[in-house]
């Protein structure tokens, strides 16, 4: 109906849909980061992110983080910058990043423990589709730690 930027021509778009930035990544936990530390992180983040309109899901298992974040673009970009400066993890690999008008997929912040095999499948899929050399190297290191089964070596290596 409208051909102006910012006007959707999708008649089926839910009126609750808003402009959201999505950031999906995985990373390796630094030495000393365990389930208790992650629980504290989640408790702190839940309060802070609600005020910023950020929602998503955080998965932590076998020393690997997987996170889907969604929210207002400016807030998500600030969070991305903070994540890259956070010493509790490294080998951050962006699996997806986009901005679009849609409904939230994760309207509530959740944390879910997973088994290494579940996470391995997601990471192997990312490995097959990425072309960035840095991401390829980081994904291979993360998968190597999952394969070794040695959670004591999850830090930088």
With cut-offs at 50, 70 and 90, classify the pLDDT of residue 156. very low
What's the confidence (pLDDT) of residue 25? 94
What's the confidence (pLDDT) of residue 6? 45
Mean residue pLDDT across the chain: 80
Q: Is 18-149 a CATH 3.30.930.10 domain?
A: no
Burial of 154 (0-12, 13-18, 19+ CB in 10 A): buried
Domain range summary for the chain, segments of one domain joined by +: 18-149
Is residue 153 within 8 Å of residue 65, measured between CB atoms? Answer: no
Cα of first residue to Cα of last residue in the chain, in angstroms, is 55
**Tens digits of per-residue pLDDT, 53-112?**
998 888 888 889 989 899 999 999 999 999 999 999 999 999 889 998 888 887 877 665
**Tens digits of per-residue pLDDT, 98-150?**
998 888 887 877 665 566 677 788 788 778 877 778 778 888 888 887 777 64
Residue showing tokens 């996170």: 67
Residues 32, 100: Cα–Cα separation, whole Å:
37
Parallel/antiparallel/unpaired status of strands 55-61 and 110-113 = parallel
Indicate whether 5 pLDDT > 60. Answer: no
What's the confidence (pLDDT) of residue 20? 92
Residues 76, 70: Cα–Cα separation, whole Å:
7
Parallel/antiparallel/unpaired status of strands 64-71 and 89-102 = unpaired
Parallel/antiparallel/unpaired status of strands 55-61 and 89-102 = unpaired
Indicate whether 4 pLDDT > 80. Answer: no
């Amino acid at each position: 109906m409208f051909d102006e930027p910012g006007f959707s021509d999708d008649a089926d778009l839910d009126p609750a849909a808003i402009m959201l930035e999505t950031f999906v990544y995985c990373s390796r936990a630094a030495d000393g980061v365990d389930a208790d530390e992650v629980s504290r992180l989640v408790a702190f983040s839940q309060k802070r992110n609600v005020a910023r309109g950020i929602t998503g899901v955080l998965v932590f298992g076998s020393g690997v983080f997987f996170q889907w974040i969604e929210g207002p673009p400016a807030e998500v970009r600030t969070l991305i910058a903070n994540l890259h400066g956070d010493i509790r993890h490294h080998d951050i690999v962006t699996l997806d990043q986009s901005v679009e008008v849609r409904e939230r997929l994760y309207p509530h912040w959740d944390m879910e423990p997973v088994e290494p095999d579940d996470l391995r499948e997601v990471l192997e899929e990312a490995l097959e589709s990425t072309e960035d050399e840095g991401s390829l190297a980081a994904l291979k290191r993360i998968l190597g730690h999952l394969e070794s089964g040695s959670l004591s070596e999850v830090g930088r290596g």
